[in-house]
Chain A
């Protein structure tokens, strides 16, 4: 349990650093470390596959793209858009809503659940695969359809408009 509290402290600490960092690139790097601590959490829960996938997808792919865009844009004080108070209030309300939802979800969780204590093998890749392709086949296929749609959309957006040919 002490490892959990230490890693949880690190997660929250780096998450806060992400918010408070002035430089956007530093902010993204702190976010990368935050995701890394999540990976450690997954390992503590004995969910090896999820840990590695979190590592590859979030740290290795998505955050690299974030970093990519930020480095190219080279944001600084002058280019920072002005945030009106309305946006801040809306952000605060949205955050509170999320907090309320999460609290509602956590209230019903039992602390001694096998998934919470990490005493289960369901996170190993064989078991996860069996569950995904058997019990949850339809949601799994639907989410893959969603990803495919997003991918085709991205390709269409990135594709140059071909001019009407002359003849």
Chain B
């Protein structure tokens, strides 16, 4: 491995890391602004122009708040919990292709940190790891409400992981690759987007993504009013902030994943017909990709202020009795269509 390669990847990692954190930070502001818009009020507008400094103020507030570690808590695990949550949220963006290759001089720079050939499975592994942050945090608090909250959150998370995995299997049957880089590059143009061949799979995947991110209407892990907070009841100061932050990063990453897997990632209509040079296509592609991501983030927030929360038994029923059978039916249907297409239309 040459030095330039490592340097190039390092720069890319730092940029992506910064972008994830900044987007997560401003998602908090966007969420409140959108809530204001939906409920016909202003939302935060005091700190800075249009309230643009609000996330900084919130962050500062989190840092200066008193940090309480309960006397009965298991101290090392109490600290490991939120740490694990934020680490798993940050490492999942490594396999997402942010754009095509950029040619600088005679170097070709790939805008994807790691194009491993099991990229989709890597994402699953990271999601599975995210459960530990919640469970460890809830258990280490030594509070029965935290424990119940953690168990509630973890069972929700593992239930919806299955539906998510099954909905992706149908996608993999169509694309024939586990590498996200390959999946995105197959979808060039507009008619090749996977959403046109896997609409049902996308719906299932999106529902499960909402549940994995603990977003409304699946936010039972952390609803304050009826269920006493949840796994982070005992957390205060920046540790609580880290849990919240990891949730927003997860939302960003799952938006990016949905855009990449089903909506063509960096591909946009007529991308090769406009007579642009390679580098311009790449740059516009990155911008297009981020536009798609922001649209999904907006959709997440839109749902939050539109739908009420599920009851827990409804949540489990939806996950196990509706989404999983539907996903399996989708797999069978995809298989049949693939075979019919291969035998009669080739």
Residues of A within 8 A of B (CB): 25, 29, 32, 48-49, 52-53, 55-56, 59-61, 64-65, 67-68, 71-72, 124-126
Contacts and interface: CB of A to CB of B under 8 A. Distances in A.
Interface string B36-74: 000000000000000000000000000000000000000
Contacts of B132: 32, 64, 67
Contacts, number: 61
A55 B158 CA distance: 14
A29 B158 CA distance: 18
B147 interface: yes
Contact of B122 (A32, A52, A61, A124): A52
Given A64-B158, A67-B139, A68-B135, 18 more contacts: A25-B139, A48-B117, A52-B121, A53-B121, A56-B121, A56-B125, A59-B125, A59-B129, A60-B128, A60-B131, A61-B161, A64-B132, A64-B154, A71-B147, A124-B117, A125-B117, A125-B118, A125-B178
A125 B177 CA distance: 9
Contacts of B125: 52, 55-56, 59-60
Contact of B150 (A59, A65, A71, A126): A71
Contacts of A64: 128, 131-132, 135, 154, 158
B136 A29 contact: yes
Interface string B147-161: 100110011001001
B114 to A, nearest CB: 11
B135 A61 contact: no
A133 to B, nearest CB: 14
B280 interface: no
A92 B234 CA distance: 43
Contacts of B121: 49, 52-53, 56
24 contacts: A48-B117, A48-B118, A52-B118, A52-B124, A52-B125, A53-B121, A55-B125, A56-B121, A56-B124, A59-B128, A60-B125, A60-B127, A60-B128, A61-B128, A61-B158, A61-B161, A64-B132, A64-B135, A64-B154, A67-B132, A68-B154, A71-B135, A71-B150, A125-B118
B116 interface: yes
Nearest to B131: A64
A32 B154 CA distance: 16
B95 to A, nearest CB: 11
Contacts of A48: 116-118
Contacts of B124: 52, 56, 60
What class of interface size applies to chain B in its complex with A? 20 to 34
Contacts of B151: 68, 71-72
Contacts of A72: 151
Contacts of A60: 124-125, 127-129, 131, 161
Contact of B135 (A49, A55, A67): A67
A56 B116 CA distance: 16
Identify which of A29, A49, A64, A65 gathers the most chain B CB atoms within 10 Å of its CB.
Answer: A64
A67 B138 CA distance: 12
Contacts of A126: 117
B123 to A, nearest CB: 10
A69 B135 CA distance: 12
A71 to B, nearest CB: 5
B309 to A, nearest CB: 23
B184 to A, nearest CB: 18
Contact of B155 (A25, A32, A55, A68): A68
Q: Name the residue in A53, A60, A71 with the highest tally of chain B Cβ atoms < 10 Å from its Cβ.
A: A60
